[in-house]
Structure 1
């Protein structure tokens, strides 16, 4: 299973004795899936795939900035009800749709400003689509039909097409640090016709970690300057990130913010929970060439009609180069 391969990869990484070196570019991918936790579930936020390219920009010596990273990304998220199939008793039963079928496909860019005082401001923008044009049905059908899973049923009720512009801002700041432990403030805000909300919480790190201007924790392992003195030659740490989230709008649950409903549409929309609490447990690693971030994320219900909370695993692997 995927999670066994993932565990093996983590063990191999932990055995490596790579040494840190500054690289101004990195490229890689992130995969999210609820099956990574080995619980046999296939529900709610069930799959995500993302591709990243990040390039460190030059920082003036007299600036308050220690690092500056420009990023580009593309990704897809797929959402199901409590199961990817609502076919019961010889027909589709929409009573089992406790979270809408939906997919989100996007491209985006970020600018990460990282300061010498170990705070950072990461600004981002995405252009994307929620609905059939995001190809969630096609991707899920292909995976299930070709890898021995059940055939999905119910995508005709998915969220209708709506094109979106979404903006984001993330702020982090170091609060306290010891030799093998530190605590930071993490926060974010989203604004757009697809996703609007905010969140805040602490980040606790245990192990060998580097400053927030050059760390896995702030997606800043790409750095232009080779004169920065890191706390450790490589990072290997465990982290815990609880977060309190406020949801103002979510197009994967509520559908289009502005568009009028098609009278022939079979779209089923539901009601988002306005307050969501999440817990994230993970491991971060950065070496000479490779960067790894692996985590388990646990969410309370984000839709009022959901019969239970949900969780998934996330693995990010990046390759660093000049």
Structure 2
């Protein structure tokens, strides 16, 4: 199903940035406070390290066999996501709303680069439920920011081990010095998510190349560019809404309440100087369940290349 265009990568100055990205630290923090709300996907954080030494790990070797490439990047990350109903002050269950839920994952990711093409494969291993410490994280942040303590976490989705396989293809359609148009497609399969998605990404501004193999000027000393990314997903299963089949939760949504087609728009601005990049992204998501609301949140990302 995934079709890639394979070619010889031409070496130029911007390859230095691609090489540096193989040895880098990435941290992302999302919170809907940046959009003036406190509901649904309310906060999340990802810490990721990229280093060639990770190629020796068993999961990296497995992912490499799925699809190789001319240029490989190996990643290790930890991720926590927290989800709440639209009101965190209800003392009783609201049967029209979504449940509380938290997830925590250790992930290994391998990025395979070709000419004008990039394939990302990852395996997530972790948990959903109280063991993910979503309740503790939200209460800690609310306590130290002077916000009200959330009520109702005792009704969150039950504990379960979770594992997922994720595949994401990016294919350049039009790439130039100041403008990129990239097609995207992929899917997730596992305990917490089963879905497929496709979309388009636009990058515009002063930027380094996104794919290896382009004939461009030497490495940018600084970057400033905007990114707009739109995707549409078909959702077959979402455990933070439905729970897992083999565990009974106090409250979850039934399958018929899922909205199957969900659309997401991300708009971001990136500024980079030498080995440091800063990005702010605002995300917009259509309702994930019947009777649900549209949702928005902001995210900050920092990258340090070493």
Question: TM-score band, normalised by the shorter chain?
Answer: 0.7 to 0.9
For structure 1, which runs of at least 5 residues remain unmatched after alignment? 1-19, 59-63, 87-91, 215-227
CA distance in 1, matches of 2:69, 2:78: 27
Structure 1 partner of 2:119: 121
SS of structure 1 residue aligned to 2:166: strand
**Deviation string, structure 1 residues 258-280 (Cα, Å, up to 9, x no partner):** x142xxx5233353211101111
Q: How far is the alpha carbon of 1:239 from its aligned partner?
A: 1.2
Name the count of aligned residue pairs. Answer: 272
| 292, 302, 306: which one aligns with 1:317 | 302
CA distance in 2, matches of 1:54, 1:81: 35
CA distance in 2, matches of 1:173, 1:251: 30
Q: How far is the alpha carbon of 1:85 from its aligned partner?
A: 2.1
| 248, 252, 258: which one aligns with 1:268 | 252
CA distance in 2, matches of 1:239, 1:248: 28
Structure 2 partner of 1:204: 202
Q: How far is the alpha carbon of 1:139 from its aligned partner?
A: 1.2
Q: Quickly say closer, same or farther: Cα 1:148–1:260, change in 2 above 3 A.
A: closer
RMSD between superposed Cα atoms in Å: 2.3
Q: How far is the alpha carbon of 1:288 from its aligned partner?
A: 1.5
| 254, 257, 268: which one aligns with 2:242 | 254
Structure 1 partner of 2:181: 183
CA distance in 2, matches of 1:288, 1:128: 35
| Deviating 4+ runs (over 4 angstroms) | 228-231
Q: State whether structure 2 residue 287 is matched by structure 1 residue 291.
A: no
SS of structure 1 residue aligned to 2:94: helix
Query: Do 2:48 and 2:76's aligned partners in 1 also have CA atoms closer than 8 Å?
Result: yes
Q: State whether structure 2 residue 29 is matched by structure 1 residue 31.
A: yes
Q: Quickly say closer, same or farther: Cα 1:113–1:188, change in 2 above 3 A.
A: same
**Deviation string, structure 1 residues 79-131 (Cα, Å, up to 9, x no partner):** 01102221xxxxx132276111000011011000011x220111000011111
Structure 1 partner of 2:11: none
Q: How far is the alpha carbon of 1:188 from its aligned partner?
A: 2.1
CA distance in 2, matches of 1:81, 1:156: 13
For structure 2, which runs of at least 5 residues remain unmatched after alignment? 1-15, 56-67
**Deviation string, structure 1 residues 241-262 (Cα, Å, up to 9, x no partner):** 11111111111000013x142x
Q: Quickly say closer, same or farther: Cα 1:182–1:280, change in 2 above 3 A.
A: same
Q: How does 1:92-241 map to 2 (within 5 A)?
A: 92-95=91-94, 98-115=97-114, 117-213=115-211, 230=218, 232-241=220-229
Query: Do 2:265 and 2:285's aligned partners in 1 also have CA atoms closer than 8 Å?
Result: yes
**Deviation string, structure 1 residues 207-264 (Cα, Å, up to 9, x no partner):** 01222236xxxxxxxxxxxxx965634332101111111111111000013x142xxx
Q: Quickly say closer, same or farther: Cα 1:53–1:97, change in 2 above 3 A.
A: farther
Q: How far is the alpha carbon of 1:140 from its aligned partner?
A: 1.2
**Deviation string, structure 1 residues 157-213 (Cα, Å, up to 9, x no partner):** 110111111000010011013442221101221010111101111111110122223
Q: How far is the alpha carbon of 1:289 from its aligned partner?
A: 1.5
Query: Do 2:268 and 2:280's aligned partners in 1 also have CA atoms closer than 8 Å?
Result: yes
**Deviation string, structure 1 residues 42-75 (Cα, Å, up to 9, x no partner):** 00000001111012589xxxxx955311000001
Query: Do 1:55 and 1:71's aligned partners in 2 also have CA atoms closer than 8 Å?
Result: yes
TM-score (normalised: structure 2): 0.82
Structure 1 partner of 2:3: none
